[in-house]
Amino acid sequence: MILGQSAATAACIAIDKKTDVQDIEYKTLNSQLMKDGQILSETK
């Protein structure tokens, strides 16, 4: 489910910016995922 959410977020950003999903900067994607509450790394 994490991969699906990440892919959907990247697709939405690409649509909004009218660009290819491969051209989305990681910083932009990471920022949006953090806002959405996505867990991006394993915590111990």
Q: Per-residue pLDDT for 5 more than 80? A: yes
- Stretch 34-38: mean pLDDT: 94
Q: For residue 9, give its domain range.
A: 2-35
Q: Per-residue pLDDT for 44 more than 90? A: no
The verdict on residue 14 lying in a domain is: yes
Count of structural domains within the chain: 1
Whole-prediction pTM: 0.84
pLDDT of residue 2: 87
**What's the chain's Rg over C-alpha atoms?**
11
The verdict on residue 16 lying in a domain is: yes
Distance CA 15, CA 17 (A): 5
The verdict on residue 41 lying in a domain is: no
